[in-house]
Amino acid sequence: DSELGSICSNTWPDFGSQPLIQASDLEPVICSLCLCGIFCFYCLGCQVASDMNECCLCGGSVAMRTLYRTRYGIPGSICSDFCTTLWCSPCSLCQIKRDIRRRKEMGIF
């Protein structure tokens, strides 16, 4: 049951159970990030891949999400990465990009 719970969870525990979409997403900069994820998914994927020094075509993939999660010690599984990417790819990319921005602000990216 705990594995099923983590698969179905919309959160990454790293930032206090940061949801895929949160109230602060209504801020103009973050809102534009989410709009970019929805209307220009491949552009945002390329930005994420570039931040990670990876191939632009990999930005929105399960592999990129898993790489990011394991690189920064974020708990989860490849199964949860797959489900999140499958069911809400734009939200998944927005979450990664938002996390990258926070890590850059904290000086740990």
Domain residue limits, the chain: 23-106
Residue 36 in contact with residue 44, Cβ under 8 Å? yes
Residue 97 in contact with residue 33, Cβ under 8 Å? yes
The pTM score is 0.72
- R_g of the chain, CA atoms, integer Å: 13
Tens-digit pLDDT string for the chain (109 aa) = 444 344 334 444 444 455 555 555 555 556 677 788 888 899 999 999 999 999 988 889 999 999 999 999 999 999 999 999 999 899 899 899 989 998 998 998 8
Strands (E), 13-107: 18-19
Exposure class string for 2-41: b at 16+ Cβ within 10 A, else e: eeeebeebbbbebeeebebbeeebeeeebeebbebbeeee
Confidence at residue 10, expressed as pLDDT on a 0 to 100 scale: 44
